Amino acid sequence: MAREMIRPVSALRDDFADVSNTVHETGRPVFLTKDGYGDMVVLSMEAYERLRLDGQIYAALLEAEHEAESTDVRFSPQDALREMRHALEGVDE
C-alpha cells in the first residue's frame, strides 16, 4: 500500500508543480496541513470524478437495498440485465 502524502499547506505556494505531479502520477490525494493539523486534500480531477462516481454507486446501492427491504417484488437476473441495458443504452429491446 502506498504511503499517504502529507505536506504543509505552504507546499501549494512553494512547490505547486510537485504537488500537482504527485496527484496526477499517483492518482492519490495529497493531504495538506496548517499549523500541524489537517486542513485540505488535493486531488486530480480524474481521482475526484472516480470518488464522486463511487459515491453515486454507493447511494444507488443503498437505495436498492432499502427498496428490497420494503417490497416482496423480485426480478430474475435476465430481467435485471435487460433493465440495466435499457437504462444504459436508452432504448427498448
The C-alpha torsion from 36 through 41 and 43 to 48, rounded to 10°, is 160
The DSSP call for residue 34 is: E
pTM of the model: 0.64
User: Element (H or E) spanning 25, and its range?
Assistant: helix 16-26
Q: Where are the domains of the chain?
A: 5-43, 47-89
* pLDDT surpassing 90 at residue 91: no
pLDDT band at 3 (very low <50, low <70, confident <90, very high): low
pLDDT digits (tens, 9 = 90+) for 22-71: 999 999 999 999 999 999 999 999 999 999 999 999 999 999 899 889 98
- Give the cell for residue 36: 500541524
Report the C-alpha gap between 25 and 45 in whole angstroms. Answer: 12
- Cell 436508452 appears where? 90
User: 91 or 21: which carries more pLDDT confidence?
Assistant: 21
23 contacts 29 by C-beta, under 8 angstroms: yes
